[in-house]
Structure 1
Amino acid sequence: MLISLAASASPASTHSGAAENSNYAVQQHYPLGGTGGWDYLSLDPASHHLFIARDDRVMVVDTQSGKLLTEISGMQHAHGVALAPGKHRGYVSNGHGNNVSVIDLDTLKSLSNIAISGQNPDAIIYDSASDHVLAMNGRSNNISVIDPTAGKEIATIALPGKPEFAVSDGKGNVFINIEDKNQIVHIDTHANKLLHAWPLTACDSPSGLAFDAASQRLFSVCDNQKMAVTDASNGRQVAQIAIGKGPDAVAFDPQTKLIFSSNGEGSLSVVREDDADHYTALADVATQKSARTLSLDPTTHQLFLVASDPAPRGTPVSGFTLLVAGRH
């Protein structure tokens, strides 16, 4: 494993560049309200619609105004929304329903449910290369492969452990963090086959995952306050960077070459890709405690996070708010 000098900097030195280098800060707070937990956020930059998986519904927010446009009901512990704008469709993973809801991206209405054999679908993505939707099943340790045209599950792919987030390269390769085995796996979506399982050394419980297509680098965020960088072509781990506590999502901006980790402690770790194997931790930007998931608009370079008021575990969510971070 290669650790760059920037990646191995002490926590104190990661703050030395801080705001003057990253220039990111939370600029807007939009109260959305409502009860219930939340999970992944998905953004359609063309329509400026942000989809928030919110337990029994999907909230749809206009990112330009911060206004709640509608709530798509009928979900069963929704985890994520995979967007296929070319099809005018979205696909929602229902963890308690063991199915995937199909939504119309134009009318913002629910159309149907697709039953799957997997248990507790969590992360979900659309793979343009195969024209399939892939649901990562957290309890059955496999992937449900859905043909959206046929409207049914057509295959399952066994995994070595519990899948977390996944990314597609658009060329028939999908990569998935395996949370309980500290691994990242490589799937061939044309053959629906597991090709590789690579160790994520010194990365505990990897969750969020992002991808840089140009450098072929994968970015996994880990519970032990690390971001692990992996070569997607061979599984080589090339760097580890210190990040904040409680990360659950990560995004890569291909234009600015910045990587963002949203951390439940209330911070946004900003990391710069200097080249394919070297990375500099720029800053930990203050957000809000519980703001652990995010989505990036690659056209405006804004980041969208959600959080709620502090409350004892098990009590109802209150003060649910959309945070918008950007350069200042």
Structure 2
Amino acid sequence: MKTKLLLVAFLSVLNLANSQTKSETFKVLKSIPVEGNGGWDYLAVCPANHFIYASHSNQVNIINPETSASEGIIENQSGVHGIAFDQDNRGYITNGKSNSVYIFDVKTNQKIAIIEVGQKPDAVIFDDYSKKIIVANAGSNSLSIINPKDLKVEKTIELIGNPEFLVSDLHGKIFVNIEDKSKIAEINLAEGKVLNYFSLGKDESPSGLAIDHKTHRLFSACEEHLVVVNAEDGKVVNALPIAKGCDGVVFDEKSNMIFASTYSGVLSTYLEKSKDEIVALPDVITEKGARTIAIDASSQKIYVATTKFGSEENKTTHRFPLIDGSFHLLQIGK
């Protein structure tokens, strides 16, 4: 009798775990075609209109994810990388080839200003704590701090290496992946001072970065690992396996799920059950090249970008040619 009760209890727990995993399983919901040719980098979701802003060669495509329709194109850019939005309906586009940030009105898409920053500006975020725009300059190993009140660079913070993506702890600190040093920089923004460099291990080449503000965990997307770091002391908590070619990671605060997008066409997915327990969930199969990612926190929809590729590999770059007119987004959800 006792053995039977134990078996029933075990099966009940197993069924509960299976039902939880099933309810947390994400899948590709639809493909959204996007106008134009050429390469791409970051995606961003505007919190005001929930449109997707996709960097796309020398333009930014604006897409309504509900209708899949184009809501406009911001043209005549110069090597677009990142897009961010402040609290006053202004957008900020980093132009890597012109070492500048293009500022536009979200309501009209019209130009407001152009600001010179460091060399090869790449990632950009709006820090909701300091109310500043922070630009990662990949070519000059620095951060440019823009004050949205006067649209001027008020401070430049020097770094030891190439900054990739960055996040805020919403309490005055910024964390930045240093790609070529396999580290995360911890920065006091008010002082403009680097406090520490957290080591991620050898040759991790971190790119995307996300943060859980509740557990103070950083999720650094590396080539084949999602490295979990305690933001309070800089110690590595775990190095979780992910698919190859990761370039972005997002954290969903509602579900406590982590999503790492990869060039190999796999969205590696984890559930943070507690600050010290993270479990693997089923991978989501996307498409080859879908390495960058954005999340709409309100709808819990995830977006990745890719294109179709030709069949002949370039022997020098080891890349496949992009097929014109095939750029598109994938919407992922439950």
TM-score by length of 2: 0.89
Paired position in structure 1 for 2:75:
73
CA separation in 2, counterparts of 1:17 and 1:163? 41
Which structure ranks higher in relative contact order (CA pairs < 8 Å, sequence separation ≥ 6)?
1
| Correspondence list, 1:272-287, <5 A | 272-287=271-286
Q: Which whole-Å deviations, capped at 9, do the CAs of 1:276-305 have from their partners, x for residues lacking one? A: 011111122110100111111112111011
CA separation in 2, counterparts of 1:26 and 1:210? 22
* Alignment of 1:53 onto 2:52: no
Which one-letter code corresponds to 1:89 in the other structure? R
* Alignment of 1:145 onto 2:152: no
| Correspondence list, 1:97-108, <5 A | 97-108=98-109
CA separation in 2, counterparts of 1:71 and 1:199? 40
Paired position in structure 1 for 2:8:
none
Runs of 4+ in structure 1 displaced over 2 angstroms? 16-22, 128-131, 311-318
Fraction of identical pairs, as percent:
36
Distance apart, 1:317 and its partner CA: 4.3
The aligned length equals 309
| Correspondence list, 1:1-150, <5 A | 20=22, 22-84=24-86, 86-116=87-117, 118-150=118-150
Task: Report if the CA contact (8 A) 1:266-1:288 is conserved.
Answer: yes
CA separation in 2, counterparts of 1:20 and 1:183? 35
Task: Report if the CA contact (8 A) 1:17-1:282 is conserved.
Answer: no
Q: Which runs of 5+ in 2 are unaligned?
A: 1-17, 314-318
Which is higher, the Rg of structure 1 or of structure 2? 2
Task: Report if the CA contact (8 A) 1:177-1:184 is conserved.
Answer: yes
Paired position in structure 1 for 2:316:
none
> Which has the larger displacement, 178-187 or 147-156?
147-156
Task: Report if the CA contact (8 A) 1:167-1:176 is conserved.
Answer: yes
CA separation in 2, counterparts of 1:34 and 1:160? 37
Q: Which whole-Å deviations, capped at 9, do the CAs of 1:119-138 have from their partners, x for residues lacking one? A: 10001111222222111111
Task: Report if the CA contact (8 A) 1:242-1:281 is conserved.
Answer: no
Distance apart, 1:17 and its partner CA: 11
CA separation in 1, counterparts of 2:119 and 2:247? 21
RMSD value over aligned CA atoms? 1.8
Distance apart, 1:161 and its partner CA: 0.6
Task: Report if the CA contact (8 A) 1:127-1:134 is conserved.
Answer: yes
Task: Report if the CA contact (8 A) 1:34-1:317 is conserved.
Answer: no
TM-score by length of 1: 0.90
CA separation in 1, counterparts of 2:150 and 2:234? 34
Which one-letter code corresponds to 2:37 in the other structure? T
CA pair 17-35 structure 1, distance change in 2 beyond 3 A: farther
Partner of 1:288, secondary structure, is: coil
CA pair 288-316 structure 1, distance change in 2 beyond 3 A: closer
Distance apart, 1:264 and its partner CA: 0.6
CA separation in 1, counterparts of 2:144 and 2:323? 31
Q: Which whole-Å deviations, capped at 9, do the CAs of 1:53-107 have from their partners, x for residues lacking one? A: 11211111112111111101121101000111x2111111110110100011111
CA separation in 1, counterparts of 2:111 and 2:170? 26
Which one-letter code corresponds to 2:130 in the other structure? S
| Correspondence list, 1:157-168, <5 A | 157-168=157-168
| Correspondence list, 1:238-253, <5 A | 238-253=237-252
* Alignment of 1:323 onto 2:304: no
Paired position in structure 2 for 1:156:
156
Q: Which whole-Å deviations, capped at 9, do the CAs of 1:241-297 have from their partners, x for residues lacking one? A: 111111000000011010000011001011010110111111221101001111111
CA pair 22-128 structure 1, distance change in 2 beyond 3 A: closer
Paired position in structure 1 for 2:260:
261
Which one-letter code corresponds to 1:248 in the other structure? D
| Correspondence list, 1:152-191, <5 A | 152-191=152-191
CA separation in 2, counterparts of 1:243 and 1:17? 24
Paired position in structure 2 for 1:7:
none
